[in-house]
Amino acid sequence: MSTDVYEMVVGLEVHVQLKTTSKAFCGCSANFGASPNANTCPVCLALPGALPVLNAEAVTLATRAALALGCKINETSIFARKNYFYPDLPKGFQISQYDRPLATGGGLAITTGNGEEKVIGITRLHMEEDAGKSIHDRYPGITAIDLNRAGVPLVEIVSEPHISSAAEAGTYLRTLRQVLQYLDVSDVSMEEGSLRVDANVSARRKGETRLGTKTEVKNMNSFSGVERALTFEFARQCELLDRGERVSQQTLLWDAAKGEARISRSKEESHDYRYFPEPDLGPLILDKEWIASIKASIPELPPARKKRIAADFKLTPEEIEQLTANPVVAEYFETVARATNDGKAAANWLMGEVQAALNSRGGDLSEFSVRPADLAQLINMIRDGLVSHAAAKRVFAAMVESGQPPAQIAHEQGLLKVGDDAALAGWIDEVLAEHPEESGRYLAGERKLQGVLVGFVMKKSGGRADPKRVNQLLASRAAGG
């Protein structure tokens, strides 16, 4: 198959919407979902005489993303105008960065299919503004423009052509997405449009070092769509090369429904963007101390975190994946795990009782009524024999309701384990009296009924009896009478 002779070379350009409250260059809301053109003002409508003013938070989030991706921050970066005409680009130019972007030279480590670590280089990360939306199929024969999105801050993250397969591209995107989620800089949702991907793909004979002619593929709406598009385009290029033809540099649009990429008809001529420095904005000058403080504020990122948890706790890879999927969960888990020194118990409670409680009550783990320290206390109480498992569940339910610590609840509700032999003997007597058939058979020698009788005792004691001791006492009665 021709695709075996050639290798795929892919670079990805990812546009990420930053989760600021207001737009990049004006105070309009950057939020999703308002009625068309509700979030507009003279600046983002490009009314005559309006001027841009840069959003501080956009700079912070962009810098944080760049640092997390290992980039070098340019202390002075320059905004530039990218000039072209399109109805959803109100000024007739996009404010972007060209010669001197915010950041250059980073990398993202991914784990490839065969378990190896590979670093995908990141050429640059720069800031720019989003365009509005052109909706072509809402009304027949005309195009509807909504400028709510015009001016929302973006970062563009450009990777080196280091990606060598469709699967790797998918992994890169998933890894990148998780990092950006951890940083809380974006919602990174392809469905909502806060993450968009354009791919540059070329083919070359295996072993060849020069790059082949690349094509640009756009309009993928999901990570799997990216993978499928790359597979399709690579195969198309291989076929061309096999026939001795050359790949022409083109832009193609992916059609997910048809499973094919076709030449974009809207790119009638190559664009001359006539970049020049934006005269309405001065240079962006960041000081070293500020950059250092942003760097210090970056949380531990997923790859490192997973490694650490795997080293310190006995958990399966699936469990680790689930527990680190989201920084809030990861933080909660680790707090509980370290306070109990029992990763397994922490994992079980988190993925079990805690998840169930969140499911039924709704809400987020970040606002959950049970604090990690309290859950840890409960787990420790079980381990130390202060409550039984059954009682612990009742305590937990009460903790979810009231937000109070377990020791207090267990004490108030009398759920602490009872290990007092006299009390236990009393309950045992009552159970034996109430269940003559089973007790008769047990005392006659049917050891397997012990569990049932212990169960009756637990129930009678409201879960408070110490099951271990109950077992011992019953066994001694059976033995000695």
Site for other proteins in 263-302 (CB under 8 A): 264-269, 271-272, 274-277, 279-286
Closest CA to 120 of 71, 72, 172, 73: 172
* One residue of 113, 114, 116, 139 binding other proteins per CB under 8 A: 139
* Stretch in the footprint of other proteins (CB under 8 A) among 130-138, 204-212, 224-232, 410-418: 130-138
Closest distance between other proteins and the C-beta of residue 127, in Å? 12
CA 287, chain centre distance (Å) = 30
From residue 311 to residue 350, the character string flagging contacts with other proteins as x (rule: CB under 8 A) and all else as - is: ----------------------------------------
Q: What is the SS3 assignment for 50? A: coil
Kindly identify the residues of this chain, within the stretch 48-107, that bind other proteins according to CB under 8 A: 48-59, 76, 78-79, 81, 83-93
Closest distance between other proteins and the C-beta of residue 29, in Å? 7
Burial class (CB in 10 A: 0-12, 13-18, 19+), 10: buried
Cα distance between residue 235 and residue 238, in whole Å: 5
Q: Which is nearer to other proteins, 13 or 430 (CB)?
A: 13
* One residue of 46, 291, 423, 443 binding other proteins per CB under 8 A: 46
Cα distance between residue 228 and residue 471, in whole Å: 61
**Alpha-carbon separation of residue 357 from 332, 380, 398, 400 (angstroms):** 15, 20, 11, 8
Kindly identify the residues of this chain, within the stretch 209-248, that bind other proteins according to CB under 8 A: 218-219
Closest distance between other proteins and the C-beta of residue 137, in Å? 7
* Stretch in the footprint of other proteins (CB under 8 A) among 20-28, 413-421, 453-461, 465-473: 20-28
**What does the buried/exposed string (b/e) look like for 107-134 if buried means 16 or more CB atoms within 10 Å of the residue's CB?**
bbebeeeeeeebebbbbbbbbbbbbbee
CA atoms within 13 A on the CB side of 59: 19
Q: Does 21 bind other proteins (CB under 8 A)?
A: yes
Closest distance between other proteins and the C-beta of residue 229, in Å? 14
Q: Which is nearer to other proteins, 46 or 328 (CB)?
A: 46
Residue 408 carries which side chain, given as an amino acid letter? Answer: Q
Structure tokens given for 154? 């973006």
* Stretch in the footprint of other proteins (CB under 8 A) among 35-43, 106-114, 116-124, 314-322: 35-43
What residue spans of 215-287 are helical by DSSP H?
A: 223-242
Kindly identify the residues of this chain, within the stretch 172-201, that bind other proteins according to CB under 8 A: none
Contact (CB, 8 A) for 6 and 238: yes
* One residue of 4, 116, 137, 289 binding other proteins per CB under 8 A: 137
* Stretch in the footprint of other proteins (CB under 8 A) among 14-22, 309-317, 318-326, 460-468: 14-22
* Stretch in the footprint of other proteins (CB under 8 A) among 46-54, 162-170, 181-189, 462-470: 46-54
Which strands form 251-255's sheet, in the order they lie side by side?
72-73, 103-111, 117-129, 153-159, 6-17, 195-205, 215-218, 251-255, 260-263
Residue 328 carries which side chain, given as an amino acid letter? Answer: V
